[in-house]
Amino acid sequence: MRGLQVSLNQTQKIRLQRSLEKLESLSSKTNRNASVTVADTIPVNYEDGVLKGHGTSELDGEVVATLCGVVERVNKLVYVRALRARYKPEIGDIIVGRVIEVAPKRWRLEINFSQDAVLMLSSMNLPDGIQRRRTALDELNMRSIFEENDVICAEVRGFQHDGSLHLQARSQKYGKLERGQLLTVPPYLVKRRKLHFHHIEQYGIDLILGCNGFIWVGEHVGAKDDMVVDQSSKSEQEDVKSTTYPTSLEEQERTYTPLETRQNICRTANAVRVLSTLGFKGEAEQRSLKKKKG
């Protein structure tokens, strides 16, 4: 398969070259691991009782690879670790999703996974910031918090016994995302890091890299902690609200975004699309930019 000649465009040639370089770099780290492509033969010792795992198959008495990746061996188990795979949630992952349903005491989100995720009403901060038990009134007001097609940032809490994926948003940095663009890239291009929230001060925008392949580029919003607001300021705000006309959610969404900020959002989003098309990983590009600045 390595010597197979196929017609590729310039973008496909670049991605193929980078994939082969990645395979060679991984296979050169250890002797027992080897990079393979589809239909490559995997050398094994049949006397030890080999167990064929994911990405392998038997053909004419030989173990061949059905995926492009690196051969891994765990005792008698032999499998191929693919360099590109679908998103597999892990506890603590930062994800970006879109609300597709408002159900009783929960929101159902699309997160680019084989099944939808669930955000319980009890697993998120309320708009007032007070930690308390959720009441029937909170359940009736769920649509005032999130509704269909809203983009949300949350954290993976874990899997439940029924197999559903549950999320949580108990921090001020999580919640509804507005005034920006939602991009979709292959999940394998987003590495799991300690920091997935990036504030680009030079352009006044926020960049959230979701582990599930959803990337948010939007206007910078400063985090506000309602728990530290003293009672005096609250009473003053209530007096002002009582003397002025109440602002609706629609009026708040119409808040003007500067033209320069919108241009920066579009340029950053286009840069992400180009890097995704060429198969570049964002974290690697950030490190290279930091080295150039240094």
Which of 38, 36, 71 lies closest to 53 in space, CA to CA?
A: 71
| pTM for the whole structure | 0.67
- Pair (60, 103) in one structural domain: no
Same domain for 95 and 39? no
Per-residue pLDDT of the chain (294 residues; tens, 9 = 90+): 455 556 777 877 787 777 777 666 655 554 445 778 888 888 887 767 788 888 888 888 888 888 888 888 888 888 888 877 788 888 999 999 999 999 988 999 999 888 889 999 888 877 666 677 788 888 888 888 899 999 999 999 988 877 789 999 888 889 899 889 999 998 888 888 888 999 988 888 999 999 999 999 999 887 544 433 333 334 444 443 333 334 455 555 556 788 898 999 999 999 999 888 877 765 444 444 444 344
Asked if residue 5 is part of any domain, the answer here is: no
39 and 19, same structural domain? yes
Count: domains in the chain? 3
The domain boundary, picked from 123, 158, 177, lies at 177
Q: How many other C-beta atoms lie within 10 A of the C-beta of residue 60? A: 6
Tell me whether residue 230 is in a domain: no
Q: Are residues 57 and 94 in the same domain?
A: no
Nearest to 204 by CA among 262, 272, 151, 254: 262
Query: Is 153 found in the same domain as 112?
Result: yes
The residue among 213, 214, 155 whose CA lies nearest residue 189 is: 213
In a domain, 242, yes or no: no
Q: What does the block give as tokens for 218?
A: 């939007």
Dihedral over Cα of 284, 178, 265, 85: its sign = positive
Q: Which of 45, 67, 82 is the last residue of a domain?
A: 82
Residue 212 lies in a domain: yes
Q: What tokens does 62 get?
A: 């030989």
Q: Which CATH number is 148's domain given?
A: 2.40.50.140
Q: Using alpha carbons only, give the angle 36, 37, 43 rounded to the nearest 5 degrees.
A: 40
Domain that holds residue 270: 178-222+254-294
